[in-house]
Amino acid sequence: MSIDELSEPKDATGARYTPDWASLRRHHVPDWFRDAKLGIWAHWGPQSAARRGDWYARHLYGPYAGTENFERDRTARQTAHHRAHYGHPSRFGHKDLCHTWRAERFDPDALMDRFRRAGARYFVSLAAHCDNFDLWDSTRQPWNAVNVGPGTDVVARWEAAARAAGLHFGVSMHAGSWTWRWLDAAFGQDSDGPYDGHLTAADGHGTWWEGLDPRALYGPPRRPGDTPTTAFVEDFYARLTEVTERYGAELVYLDDSRLPFDDGSVCEAAPADRARGLAFLAAYYNRTPEGAVSIKTVADADRGAVLLDVERHQLGGLDPHPWQYDTSIGDWFHSDGETYKSAQEIVHLLVDTVSKNGCLLLNVPQLPDGTLDDEVSHVLDSLGAWLRTCGEAIYGTRPWTVYGEGPTNVSGERSREARLDYTAQDLRFTRAAEPGVVYAFVMSWPDDRKVRIRSLDTTPATVTLLGSPEPVTWRGGPDGLEVRLPDRPPTPYVQVLRLAFS
């Protein structure tokens, strides 16, 4: 069975979806997503105010019961920073950080124009991170960007800018199961006293947060390992439904290994509360049949019902189903002094992902005021310049017979992302929508200016080096195709050969 056959809908009857996997498997990943290849993600919110990276809203309280081994070093760094700059979390906790985030220079139209020029075909706005703060004018969560902090509906403004720029629009939702597991830290205490999760609405009298209840932000008091309450699960799905419906989200990124609170979720609910995810999927696809909902672990049988998202990991081979690889130029939230990926590294990641039937969702770390620093801007501009030259080999393409050649690839079926040192023998391939055109990506410029493609059993009629004013020469043989390149590469990064077969 071909890749295209696997990706087509299993049922064309148009019947409405019901909340069960058998029905939901009739859905398929939409063609707009398969064609888009590159999305930009604004994983931006109140935690950026600390300028110390991801998971700050949890780690400002640490260490505490439930701290896991993988987060201990980061917890220690962020806790020390918080005590030094903000004080003890009984006096200044996550809720107060939300108040300091002002986004005073946020200009979504200008940013979206830059993202469009960088080559993005879809855009994803953070709706609520694990910190449980809603970035839209939420009717259910009073701790939101209209009531606290910026005083504006961030998601609405992102959506309007994305639509005006001609980009597909999506939202990412990280609250819910992660929040329950994450913000239990606010209910800890140390020798200096209990943290601010213990505060109630009555404690807000005479403070900046008078009229707001900290419990609405932190959730009910709990200990690590407690089972989420029914009310908490229902509130999450009500908010998820509101933000996806109000803003017409075409992509819904769910930050969970399975549907939130379901079997296999990062935080499983009681058995009676685990079916809410299926109900959401059915309602969403009935409303948005050309939408896609992503999760992190997907059985092969469910690859039409949900989109596989691979976070900061790379697949080792060509996947017969469409998938999404998400990563960031730097940390998920801006962190002073961090090291960013280079434009070359991002081009390599994009090419490798597309050759394996994926799309790249790239987070762009924003400063707390809503702007981008010069280095991030340079990376975006460089990526856009490469795509203006080589984009025909990316957009709207499909995988070829093999994803690539050469000695360099990730180890195993799925590996943590790493910068790979590609050689001149490393190639990646895509095929155009028009018949008879294959693109070969030369991942590193060969010193002898010769490219050898061993996967071909037919000699192309024409070979063109995209972006080069100089012609190339080629000859076929029993060992494949040899192409002689000009003296200088036409782009600073990956070079692309267009192979046209008669």
498 phi and psi, to 5 degrees? Answer: -100, 120
The answer to whether position 55 is within a domain reads no
Residue at a domain's end among 393, 414, 440: 393
- Which pLDDT belongs to residue 502? 86
The reported pLDDT for the residue numbered 106 is: 98
Does 246 share its domain with 365? yes
Do 254 and 333 belong together in one domain? yes
Q: Are residues 409 and 383 in the same domain?
A: no
- Residue 270 sits in the same domain as residue 419: no
The pLDDT of residue 174 is 98
Domain co-membership, 334 together with 431: no
C-alpha–C-alpha distance, residues 376 and 138, integer Å = 31
Query: In sequence order, what are the residues at sequence separation of 6 or more whose Cβ sits closer than 8 angstroms to the Cβ of residue 105?
Result: 369, 370, 371
| Dihedral angle, C-alpha 339, 84, 101, 333, nearest 10 ° | 20
Looking at the fold, whether 350 and 370 belong to one and the same domain comes out as yes
190 and 280 fall within a common domain:
yes
The secondary structure of 319-346 as a DSSP string is: -SS-EEEEEESS-SS-BTTPPPPPHHHH
Residues 319 and 426 in one domain: no
User: How far apart (Å, rounded) are the C-alpha atoms in residues 498 and 495?
Assistant: 10
In the chain (502 residues long), the average pLDDT of successive 10-residue segments reads 38 77 97 98 98 97 86 94 97 98 98 98 98 98 98 98 98 97 94 96 98 98 95 98 98 97 96 96 98 96 97 95 98 96 98 98 98 98 98 98 96 87 98 95 98 96 97 94 97 98 91
Query: Which residue among 335, 358, 393 closes a domain?
Result: 393
Q: What is the pTM of this model?
A: 0.96
Spatial separation of the C-alpha atoms in residues 459 and 452, rounded to whole Å? 12
**What pLDDT shows up at residue 3?**
39
- Would 275 be classed as within a structural domain? yes
84 domain residue, yes or no:
no
189, 334: one domain: yes
85 phi, psi to nearest 5 deg: -105, -25
The amino acid that residue 501 corresponds to is F
Question: Same domain, yes or no, for 315 and 386?
Answer: yes
- Classify residue 27: in a domain, yes or no: yes
**CA max distance for the chain:** 83
Number of domains into which the chain is organized: 2
End-to-end CA distance of the chain: 25
Question: Which residues are bridge partners to 281 per DSSP?
Answer: none
Which residue in this structure is represented by tokens 């972006």?
Answer: 467
Nearest to 439 by CA among 114, 37, 32: 37
Asked if the peptide bond before residue 63 counts as cis, ω within 30 degrees of 0, the response is yes
Whole-Å CA distances, 355 to 158, 213, 401: 30, 49, 10
Alpha-carbon gap, residue 139 to 19, rounded angstroms: 25
Query: Is 284 among the domain residues?
Result: yes
Domain that residue 343 falls in: 3-50+94-393
Give the length of the chain: 502
Q: For residues 341 and 196, give the distance between their C-alpha atoms in angstroms, rounded to a whole number.
A: 37
Query: Does some domain include residue 74?
Result: no
The Cα–Cα gap between 37 and 437 comes to 18
Same domain as 149, residue 100: yes
Q: DSSP E strands: which ranges in 81-203? A: 122-128, 168-173, 189-190, 193-194
Domain boundary among 393, 419, 452: 393
Q: Indicate if 383 and 420 belong to the same structural domain.
A: no
CATH of the domain at 424: 2.60.40.1180
